Amino acid sequence: MAAPEKQAMNLQQISDRTTAQKGATRLSDPSHIKIWFNAEPQEPTCCAKYALCCSGLAFDKERSYMYLREGALEHNRVNKCCIKALEPCNKQPDWISLQYFDKKPYAKIKKCGGCCSFEPYIEKVDNGCMICCTKVTCHQSCCGKDFMTYVPVASYCCCFPNRVNWCCNCCGLWGPPDGNPLIHIPYFMQPEDVDGFVAQCKQVIPAARAMHPTGA
């Protein structure tokens, strides 16, 4: 007899759906959801670990996950009680987020009669800092590694690129490195391989967005 964790894998995959699915919820195979990247979760920084420890918690890496699905981004960041005696009465909930790429906040939005359009995307941010024309990389365990972020617009005020340039970092004397997005929202959950995950997102998001080109 198969072990309990393997029994479900021996079940036949069944799909009796007859209604056509539209948009990014449509599956390439109706019997299962394809995952393009099952990311290793990134460890919290020392500061984040300290804050959790003060609350009697620790990051539950075994239960947490980050999936780049065929039409959506899904992640679950879970903490666990780090005090053995309190575990039975301090069960932490799952915090699951699921966002489809053909809907807000990822959908391409046209405004002003189609003259202006906003095409959000996912980008990597270099977590270094320019000091006296030299890029300094902070200690990763304390300040974090390069991270993945949500960028709502490629430009703002119609023409200014949403990118750090010489003006933003005083010609390299002080500030973030050139090329980083100016307006962005970092993800609470981060993959260990930021470059690989972002590269895969840039392939998956346009295909999913094309399933519902008008956005929402």
Confidence of residue 39 (pLDDT cuts 50, 70, 90): very high
- When pLDDT is averaged across residues 88-109 and rounded to a whole number, the result is 89
The total number of structural domains that make up the chain: 1
Burial 169-200 (b: 16+ CB within 10 A, else e): beeeeebbbeebbeebeebebbbeebeebbeb
pLDDT of residue 150: 95
Terminal Cα-to-Cα distance of the chain (whole angstroms): 49
Within a domain: residue 7?
no
Within a domain: residue 169?
yes
pLDDT of residue 135: 75
pLDDT of residue 138: 66
In the chain, pLDDT over 70 holds for what percent of residues?
86
Q: In this model, does residue 1 exceed pLDDT 60? A: no
Within a domain: residue 6?
no
Within a domain: residue 141?
yes
Q: In this model, does residue 38 exceed pLDDT 80? A: yes
pLDDT of residue 153: 86
Residue written as token pair 């420890």: 53
pLDDT of residue 99: 95
pLDDT of residue 163: 87
Reference 153, options 188, 111, 194, 189; nearest CA is: 111
User: How many Å apart are CA 106 and CA 98, to the nearest integer?
Assistant: 12
Residue 29 tokens read as: 């195979």
For residue range 125-135, list pLDDT tens digits in order: 988 787 887 77
User: How many Å apart are CA 31 and CA 36, to the nearest integer?
Assistant: 16
Confidence of residue 109 (pLDDT cuts 50, 70, 90): confident
For residue range 57-69, list pLDDT tens digits in order: 999 999 999 999 9
Domain span at 100: 33-209
Residue 170 tokens read as: 């005083």
8 Å CB contact between 11 and 31 = no
Within a domain: residue 87?
yes
- When pLDDT is averaged across residues 172-199 and rounded to a whole number, the result is 89
Within a domain: residue 22?
no
Supply the mean pLDDT for the chain.
84
Within a domain: residue 72?
yes
User: How many Å apart are CA 71 and CA 83, to the nearest integer?
Assistant: 39
Within a domain: residue 20?
no
By mean pLDDT, which of 18-22, 157-161, 194-198 is the weakest? 157-161
